Amino acid sequence: MFTTRPEIAGTFGVAASTHWIASQTAMAVLERGGNAFDAATAAGFVLQVAEPHLNGPGGDAPIIIHDAAADRQHVICGQGVSPDAATLDRFASLGLDMVPGTGMLPAMVPGAFDAWCLMLRDWGTWELADVLAYAIGYATNGIHVVPRISATIESVRPMFEQEWTTSAAVFLPGGEVPAPGSLFANPALGATYARIVREAVGTTREARIDAARNAWYRGFVADSIDRFFRTQEVLDTSGRRHRGLLTGADMARWAASVEDPLAYDYAGHTVLKCGPWSQGPAFLQQLALLQGFDLGAMDPFGADFVHIVAECAKLAFADREAYYGDPDFVEIPLTELLSDDYNAARRQLVTETASRELRPGTIPGFAAWVDHEAHGRVDLLTRAPGVGEPTVARLGAVGGDTCHLDVIDRAGNMVSATPSGGWLQSSPVIPDLGFPLGTRGQMFWLKSGLPTSLGPRRRPRTTLSPSMALRDGRAWMAFGTPGGEQQDQWSAILFLRMVHHRLTIQQAIDAPSFHTEHWPSSFWPRASRPGKLVIEGRYGADVLADLLSRGHVAEMGEPWSEGRLSGARREPDGQMYAGANPRGMQGYAVGR
């Protein structure tokens, strides 16, 4: 089949990401003798400069790694937790029934920095100073502006000029939106990372990295965040001004952690995901449901495939709504959710007619509350102008988008990472640091007794969801995508087409895809569109007609609009392959 570019092949190393500069940064590190963990860390920091509308230093970074020497996989949880002051009573006293989608109230401890540093310390070989040099150079000297950056800044320009003036000082240099194709510098961010390097003092490489972590979470970075949050009131999506709740003490007590990944065996493969503090298990639940269908006999671009996959996604994500949360605080029935008996019963709900109900399963001993009123909040989105992907409303609310990167080195080490949050449009820039904080707290419910109820020191149930797969027990592929709710839809579709229809990574990325918006979004205002199914514009009209006849609220999107996937895999003969998304003209894969 036609592909927009060749699938990259090599034996030395490969890297793929949502931005060509990050991919090339990772490859440059590999060429200089670094391993996959060094390369991914350098690329991750560069993405903060290259795609500030999609991630930033104040955001989050869940990472899945394969350690080739130990032949083990790990999850690095870079999802920061809520402040001690983030209680239901506190939000009730503010007259809020939903966590705002922008501003300072939804800010969590920024987890990305510690996640990258933890991976670098324990699995990498490079000094942090050498890893950060790429991002410092781009922040100080300027980086190429892609059109989406300009469009995002333009969409929130009035708010920056009138309300978030510290953001205007950074992202409206000279009072103007940086033009597509121009160079954009963020000297304050470059200075922040340069100071981190100066303060990273110690007698060993590991001690120097830990000193940098201290500077961030217990030193000058935490001090600046604490001071800004105590002294500023800023406009958010509630239409009112609020101070933030995050403090230096909240930052000081938190650190990124290492966990075992969740795993599910499917058709000779084992898929690895982050825990139920992410939406990652929904990918595994889809596989558990799809086990009972002969996907290999279906046309991968036909209506039957779209219908079955979308209907199973509806069931899996309904369970996400009902049961997922931070397992440090609530019990999550993952064993039952992934069991054969449970999924055999759930599978019977999939018929030839599209469902418009939100139907979580019933598990004894667990309540299954879901928001059946979410469709009534759609008008909050449709009244606000947007700029495409990501969709940014007048007060900065974003429909969820992010970055992704994958790296494999010649030893077979692998990294799959989905850094996000801290978008330029999420909250005001902290002036002496050069970056804003994230708004992941909007994914909590302000209702007691739920797995995702707001509470102190909890991880919000993030949409961020890197993926890794083993084939016949051997590490095979790292992959993922931006896209909020769509991440574990688009990633699953890519995986299924590769497994059942033997597509390459690049073929599976280029193939027309689809998504449903059936369940409540994780992003403010938590709206749903029951039954809605969007298929990419390159599908035939007959497929759309077929789906409409089955009861889907289906529509045809633009020709190249579904997915921003990338991936890298390693085969038993030692060859490595990588592919990246052509949509948006940013993603790239490199290797040799």
Residue ranges of the domains in the chain? Answer: 8-257+397-443, 259-358+371-377+465-572
Q: How far apart are CA 155 and CA 160, in angstroms?
A: 10
| Third-level CATH fold of 259-358+371-377+465-572 | Serum Albumin; Chain A, Domain 1 (1.10.246)
Residues of the chain predicted below pLDDT 50:
383-391
Tokens of 156: 């929130």
Give the dihedral of Cα atoms 325, 328, 331, 335; nearest 10 deg.
Answer: 90
Q: Strands, DSSP E only, in 6-131?
A: 8-10, 13-17, 63-67, 72-77
Residues 188-245: tens digit of each pLDDT = 999 999 999 999 999 999 999 999 999 999 999 999 999 999 999 999 999 999 999 9
Q: Which residues, including other chains, have CB under 8 Å from residue 521's CB and lie 6 or more apart?
A: 374, 399, 400, 484, 485, 527, 528
Maximum pairwise Cα distance, the chain: 69
CA-nearest of 222, 190, 273 to 107 is 222
- The DSSP line for 172-211 is SGGGSPPPTTSEE--HHHHHHHHHHHHH---SSHHHHHHH
pLDDT for residue 379: 79
N-term to C-term CA, the chain: 24
CA-nearest of 349, 323, 351 to 336 is 323
Instruction: Spell 475-507 as b/e; 16+ CB within 10 A means b.
Output: bbbbbbbbbbbbbbbbbbbbbbbbbbbebbbbb
Q: Which residues, including other chains, have CB under 8 Å from residue 97's CB and lie 6 or more apart?
A: 446
Angle at 66 (CA atoms; ends 470, 138), nearest 5 degrees: 125
pLDDT for residue 1: 84
Q: How far is CA 16 from CA 38, 78, 114, 590, in A?
A: 15, 20, 22, 6
CA neighbours closer than 13 Å in the CB half-sphere of residue 70: 9
Q: How far is CA 19 from CA 203, 204, 588, in A?
A: 35, 33, 6
Tokens 């709740």 identify what position?
245
- Pairing state between β 8-10 and 234-235: unpaired
551: left (phi over 0), alpha (psi -120 to 50) or beta: left
pLDDT for residue 387: 28
CA-nearest of 389, 436, 405, 398 to 46 is 405
Q: How far apart are CA 74 and CA 329, in angstroms?
A: 21
pLDDT for residue 383: 44
Question: Against a cut of 0.95, is the pTM above it?
Answer: yes
3-state secondary structure of 14: strand
299 burial class (0-12, 13-18, 19+ CB within 10 angstroms)?
A: exposed
Q: How far apart are CA 496 and CA 312, in angstroms?
A: 13
CA-nearest of 457, 386, 464 to 62 is 464
Asked if 29 and 38 count as a contact pair (C-beta separation under 8 A), the reply is yes
pLDDT for residue 395: 55
Tokens of 374: 């979410």
- Pairing state between β 576-580 and 532-535: unpaired
Q: How far apart are CA 536 and CA 25, in angstroms?
A: 31
